[in-house]
Amino acid sequence: MNRLDPGKLNVTYLTGTTPEHMKLPRRYTLTHSDRTGKLFLSIGSEFNTGQCSSIYTRLMRDEALAELCDEETGLVFKVYCHVSGGFVIGTAKWRYSILQSEMPLVLETIRYGDRVLFERNPGLDEARILVHFASSDDRFNVVEDWGTMLQYR
């Protein structure tokens, strides 16, 4: 796999969050620049809404939001992607296809960007990943199981 270029990843820990300490929920906001190819990952107790507020990001809606949650079944990574609805560029089918093809990079980026936490808590690699594709078209409004974080190490 290894599609991630670590030199193009910028990681920011938001106030109250550190690389070493696991406080749940732990939330991830991932955006990118089409122009430079850089990835921007924010990690905190809340999503970084300011990171998603530019006009370009609001029109493209190609950010990925994720959260590590403790549920009855154990730790789960939930990833949220906007496929269609509202004012976004592209058809639901096209966007769903792109988001699916880029999901391994999204998961690898989160895993690598927060690697200190994973190294200190090896059980995190066993956390299930559920990807929520949000769409106004029922065919693409789905939740998919993407395995465990171990696959994206």
The answer to whether 131 and 146 have CB atoms below 8 angstroms apart is: yes
CA distances from 28 to 52, 90, 121 (A): 12, 25, 17
Residue in the block written with tokens 């078209």: 137
Tell me the per-residue pLDDT of 8-48, one tens digit each, with 9 for 90 and over: 999 999 999 999 999 999 999 999 887 888 999 999 999 99
Q: Residue ranges per domain, the chain? A: 7-152
Tell me the per-residue pLDDT of 112-153, one tens digit each, with 9 for 90 and over: 999 999 999 999 999 999 999 999 899 999 999 999 999 999
* Mean pLDDT along residues 84-97: 76
CA distances from 152 to 4, 147, 148 (A): 10, 9, 8
Q: 7-152: what fold?
A: Severin (3.40.20)
| pLDDT of the residue at 46 | 95
